[in-house]
Structure 1
Amino acid sequence: MSKVLVIGAGGVGSVAVHKMAQNRDIFSDITLASRTLSKCDAIARSVQERTGVTITTRQIDADDVEATTALLREVKPRLVVNLALPYQDLAIMDACLAAGVDYMDTANYEPREEARFEYKWQWDYHERFKQAGLTALLGSGFDPGVTSVFAMWLKKHRLKTIRLLDILDCNGGDHGQPFATNFNPEINIREVTAPARHWEDGQFVETPAMAVKQRFDFAEVGEKTMYMMYHEELESLARHVPELERARFWMTFGDEYIKHLTVLQNVGMTRIDPVLYEGKEIIPLQFLKAVLPEPSSLGATTKGKTNIGDIATGETLDGSGEKTFYIRNICDHEKAYEETGNQAVSYTTGVPAMIGAAMLLTGTWDGDGVFNMEEFDPDPFMDMLNTQGLPWEVLELPAPLSF
């Protein structure tokens, strides 16, 4: 029996359990838990209607290590799939260690009080998981996740070394809202407003947030403005691809998004430090999250496509010199909604979460300790992307990116 406990009932959690229910040969028993039981129950009803599979739902505060440990001991899953907030990663890892359960997530830990995206805290758990004979797989979403697997597939099948790497994330979808985020608003805005960092010549180089931008023509989406940002896969790729001379992450944003975000920053609504309001401390960004549209509600109105991939330049395996390859996935918002009731941003994270879980439950990926996606064979993961709704393609480009 491959029993799994999924924590988190947002759009990504919804996609993940829908896809798990479609793969009953791997996921024989699914429990979905969240702080808000009604969200879990709504997802369970959708899974039942779409797949005929019944999943169990539970209420849990994942910040409470003792309560989470007790739930794990009661449910007895082989794997915990953490799709909750990144603030909760360490608490859930502690519960997994206490209950003797393997762990997986899609985003690295960050402290609530500071927008710091680092793997250090989770990498520090390596020896504890190793001694316990447990596996922790970090970052099995799309970016991070698939983008790292894309790079390692290129290293295995096309390039002996990767000298230059650019990760390009384009959401060409339109949800019809003047301002909304396609995943958790609090996490999205913390990422976007943090200083940009990219890897170059053996160190991270920092630039002001949203200060570096380029135009790029994305297949099936069109020409968009993309901004250089920091994203956590740069840290793990720099560690596991030591020959990297430069690695950058780019994400597209529309003019309306930038305009609204600029105003919100200027009036202090993106602050993550508490302010006193009517005798109570509130965090402005958390209040803003409460009044913005719930990302999982955007699926019905979102049209268009996402286009996410890697452009890598390096020495070829066959010794024919240096070449540049572009490996990417294009996902349709409306098709994602038709299948799972969620838009493509949730779909492109939830499907890789299911595939990462499948890699662990089937023993295809195995090891004691804490691991990033780059440390395992990319081929079986890439094969499942093709069969589970995220087909990919690889093209040879005539030259490296010129910017």
Structure 2
Amino acid sequence: MKKILVLGTGAQGSTVAQRMDEEPNVSQIICADADHKAVDELVKILKKASGAYVDADDIDSIIKAAEGVDLIVNALPIRFAPKVLEAAIAVKANYQDFAATDVLDSWWPKCVEMMYEDYGRRFKEIGKTAIIGTGSAPGMMCVAAKRSMTYLDTCDDILMMVYEGVEAKRFLPFWWSPFTALSDMTDPTFALKDGELVETEPHSLPVTRHFKGCQGPVTLVEHAHDETVYMGLNKDTHFKGAKNINFKYGGVGIDFSTPLYRAGLLSREEETYKGHTFIPFDVIVSHLPPAPKYHDEIKEILDEGLVKDEGAFVVEAVGMKDGKRVLVETYLYAPGCVESFERAGITGEMYLTGQCGSLFTKMFVNDEYTQKGLISSDMLTDEECGKYLDYAAQLDITLETEVKTL
């Protein structure tokens, strides 16, 4: 029986806690956050949970909450990751994170390398497993990309695309934290180009696709995401020598933020206008509605009706198979926003990210990881990928792959 600390009680952490509350191999869940209301609201709907109030800037506070746990699920902002990693090592616990931290070095790929090497060695020394990038993207996206490699002998190009086309009648550009969303819209983006990791410009290099089940063409652009860095570093060991890897994002959030980015309104630098000093990014964020989080909030938006409830989650991998050049096209299918609410009382964003994250946790509590040290979700073995996808299918989250000769 496993004891889990879920650190962070937002959309991701709360979904993991709720899913683990149903797992027979889980005996106790500690739900921890600095937000007392969020902790209390979550604990009262769970059977196996207790609450803790934690200051994530204080390692000792984390260690105190984590004493005796088998696994720490870190659902906090990525700047806290080094402290949570140190706490996990101190209490000799396994570790799960939804992304990779960017505070260890100014060059993000170097941060990930440091995590692989330093924390990988230290977790291996205590016989524990740490996995980073365990939501939907990164997470399920990495599993889908890794799975597509089974159809190739060698790989040239990998293009990962996420289109989020859920549009409310009210002004709601983001279904998750507006601060996080707009931060992602301005952060440096990375791609593997001719075998080398390089920075690309956010909102650049557009591609257009006609996705199954979606109305009309969709334009997607470069976007800051972990996958390209993980997979770029692991191109030879896990992705059959891939030379070019990109992540593209499109939908309502991009349509809203791209003009702001191009106008300089997402800048973090102080500006002065007519005698007033301000930071454009902060002004924009302060005017955005928060993402719906609670049942009644979501219900109110859905009762008003949605303009669109569509999306796409696709991997295109091009390479050689049996002497022929082929395209491996993989679609992910999952419940939309309305169906997610009917099933679980949450949004489609919360359902996919949280449920996909919870499946990585489920594999921890069922002792299904064979690797020790620190890995990212693209480094799962073929057997681990298969087990993960079996669990996902039980939640109606499935992959469909088609191989086309070029």
Say yes or no: TM over 0.5. Answer: yes
**Which residue of the partner structure matches residue 148 of structure 2?**
154
Question: What's the counterpart of residue 28 of structure 1?
Answer: 27
SS in 1 for 2:26: coil
Report the more deviating stretch, 108-117 or 184-193.
108-117
Which shifted more, 108-117 or 201-210? Answer: 108-117
User: Are residue 95 (structure 1) and residue 87 (structure 2) matched?
Assistant: yes
Alpha-carbon distance change, 260 to 235 in structure 1, aligned in 2, over 3 angstroms: closer
Question: 1:79 aligned to 66, 71, 74, which one?
Answer: 71
From 259, 262, 283, give the equivalent of 1:262.
Answer: 259
Structure 2 counterpart of 1:363? 367
Question: What stretches of structure 1 of length at least 5 have no aligned partner?
Answer: none
Q: Which residue of 2 aligns with 1:293?
A: 289
Taking only the aligned residue pairs, the percentage that are identical comes to 18
The 3 A distance-change label for structure 1 pair 20 and 283 is farther
Distance 1:66 1:192, change over 3 A: same
2:314 corresponds to which of 309, 316, 324 = 309
Q: Does 1:185 align with 2:178?
A: yes
Q: For each residue in 1:83-116, what CA deviation from the matched residue of structure 2 results, as whole angstroms up to 9, or x when unmatched?
A: 1111111110011111111100111102399795
Amino acid of the structure 2 residue aligned with 1:167:
M
Cα deviation, 1:89-148, whole Å, max 9, x if unaligned, reads 111001111111110011110239979574234223122212222211111111111111
Corresponding position of 2:246: 248
Q: Structure 2 length as normaliser, TM-score?
A: 0.85
Contact persistence 1:129–1:135 (CA under 8 A): yes
Do the aligned partners of 2:230 and 2:376 also contact (CA within 8 Å) in 1? yes
Deviation at 1:366, TM superposition (A): 2.9
Report deviation, 1:29.
2.1
> 1:353, CA displacement in angstroms?
1.4
Aligned residues: 382
Residues 305 and 42 of structure 1: CA distance in aligned 2, closer, same or farther (over 3 Å): farther
**1:94 maps to amino acid:** E
Distance 1:63 1:288, change over 3 A: farther
The letter of the residue matching 1:184 is S
Equivalent position SS for 1:28: strand
Distance 1:109 1:239 in 2: 16
Q: Secondary structure at the match of 2:359?
A: helix
- The yes-or-no answer on 1:389 pairing with 2:386 is no
Sort the Cα spacing of 1:284 and 1:16 in 2 relative to 1 into closer, same or farther, 3 A.
farther
* Distance in 2 (alpha carbons) for counterparts of 1:44 and 1:289: 30
Deviations 1:245-288 (A, max 9, x none): 1111111133x8545553477465x3446799xxxx99764675
Q: TM-score, normalised by structure 1?
A: 0.85
> 2:2 matched to 1:9?
no
The Cα offsets for residues 160-217 of structure 1, whole Å up to 9 and x where unpaired, read as 2322111010112113343532222222212212343321211124332212212211
* Distance (whole Å) between structure 2 residues aligned to residue 131 and residue 274 of structure 1: 46
Give, as a single letter, the amino acid of the residue that structure 2 aligns with 1:15: T
CA contact (8 A) 1:179 1:257 kept: no
1:208 aligns with: 201
Structure 1 contact 31–57 (Cα < 8 Å) conserved: yes
1:229–1:250 CA contact under 8 A, matched in 2: yes
- How far apart, CA to CA, are the structure 1 residues paired with 2:58 and 2:340? 33
How far, CA to CA, are the matches of 2:359 and 2:84 in structure 1? Answer: 20
Residues 150 and 56 of structure 1: CA distance in aligned 2, closer, same or farther (over 3 Å): same
